[in-house]
Amino acid sequence: MKFSEITESARFTLESLNSNKLRSLLTTLGVVIGIVFVILMGWLLEGLDTALEKSINVIGTDMIYIDKWNWSGGANWREYMSRKDINYKQAAEFCRTAITPEIAMPTVQKWGATVQYKNQTISGISVQGVPAEYAFTAAGTVTDGRFFSRAEDGFNAKVVVIGYNVANTLFPKGDAIGKEIKIRGRKFEIIGIVEKRGTFILDFIDNQVYIPLHTFFGIFGTSGRSLSIAIKAGSETNMENVRLEAIGLMRQIRNNKPGQPEDFSLNESQMFRDEVSALRMSTWGVGIGLVSLSFFVGIIGITNIMFVSVTERTKEIGIRKALGAKRSSILLQFLMEAAALCFVGALIAFAFCSAVIALAVKIFFSDSDYLTSYVPPQLLVTASIVSIIVGVLAGLIPAIRAARMKPVDALRYE
């Protein structure tokens, strides 16, 4: 293949597309739809991944929570229900005894509480009772104000650190610090706001409020609720040591006999990967189905129009062959044309997706920080390559037919 033939083919391709604008546009529609699905699917998957990473970081990659429940074990809830609660005495003993973690602390929560500010109320709030050390975990990072101190925990101070959504709903002007809200009829002073961390995976996390552990017990009591033990390993390399010690120590505290399964669960942020991978798979499945279907239709359309183009230009093929064009030259010319047709389709799809994505983010996901408002650049590259491959596939049979024409027959064609 000579370079001059390649540039010549490219030139003729552009002229050919240009002279059949409407036809090219209609032909490429199937490919446009296919590429649109490729881009939208890629965009959603990337959003999912971002959401996943954010969620994992919210909880902290070096965190282990010992609970009565297993976070990802929805199907076995009966078994978890029947487990004995982890009481304060057990949690405190664990935290006192464990030596591998950087921090280990008991936490406790009350779901479905109501928070009131003046005459506004929000329900469905989870109240977390945590010690002051919670400030050193990823989940306790305060953007505004401060976390409560050990002293405040010690004398049951009525102070509260509120989640992002709570702050946003009750104090849209951003003046929450120093205000008083009521939890279970008790007044609490707001001293801090936790940064926004939730995505659709952990959306409840921004609807939490944090009060000192002992204040919590004072208001909600200690009986009838199972505590969590929040453990910060300090580093990911220390996780395995912590896991081993946590299981051993907890079995001992909970009197699990040798050979008997544990009656508690170790939960880690990595468990969200399973949840997300199911979502990923279904997005993939639907996406691949739609993509293949539209490419199938698109390829048929392009193959068809390329047959028309080859027939229309039989005479031209004859002339070119008489002037010395080899089979490969003719093949290249028509493959290039089909590929260019699909590439134009890809360009249209980029424009369309950019508009749709920008609009969708603006209208439906305006507060999402995991979906990008533009088409991710690597998807442009992928879609371009895919479009060219589709074009070559679609153009192959017509191009071979063109290349194989006998010059004498092609020249005679009128």
Partner 1 sequence: MTSEQPIIHIENVEKIYTMGGERLYALRDVSLNIFPNEYVAIMGPSGSGKSTLMNILGCLDTPSSGRYLFNGLDVKSMSDAELAEIRNKEIGFVFQTFNLLARASSVRNVELPLVYAGTKRSKRHELAEKAMRSVGLSDRMEHKPNELSGGQRQRVAIARALVTNPSIILADEPTGNLDSKTGNDIMNLFDNLWKAGNTIILVTHEEIIARFARRIIRIRDGGIESDMPNEVEDSAHSDAA
Residues that bind partner 1 (CB under 8 A): 2-5, 7-8, 12, 15-16, 19, 315-316, 318-329, 406-408, 411
7 vs 235 by CB, closer to partner 1: 7
End-to-end CA distance of the chain: 29
User: 112 and 209 in contact (C-beta within 8 Å)?
Assistant: no
Q: What are the residues whose beta carbons fall under 8 Å from the beta carbon of 66, sequence distance 6 or more?
A: 86, 94, 228, 229, 231, 246, 250, 264, 265, 266, 267
C-beta of 23: minimal distance to partner 1 in Å? 15
C-beta of 382: minimal distance to partner 1 in Å? 33
C-beta of 309: minimal distance to partner 1 in Å? 13
C-beta of 14: minimal distance to partner 1 in Å? 11
13 vs 199 by CB, closer to partner 1: 13
C-beta of 39: minimal distance to partner 1 in Å? 34
Q: What are the residues whose beta carbons fall under 8 Å from the beta carbon of 375, sequence distance 6 or more?
A: 39, 43, 350, 353, 354, 357
208 vs 329 by CB, closer to partner 1: 329
5 vs 275 by CB, closer to partner 1: 5
User: 337 and 388 in contact (C-beta within 8 Å)?
Assistant: no
Please provide the DSSP assignment of 207-251 as one string: GEEEEEHHHHHHHH-STT---EEEEE-SSGGGHHHHHHHHHHHHH
User: 159 and 181 in contact (C-beta within 8 Å)?
Assistant: no
C-beta of 300: minimal distance to partner 1 in Å? 27
232 vs 320 by CB, closer to partner 1: 320
151 vs 322 by CB, closer to partner 1: 322
User: 175 and 142 in contact (C-beta within 8 Å)?
Assistant: no
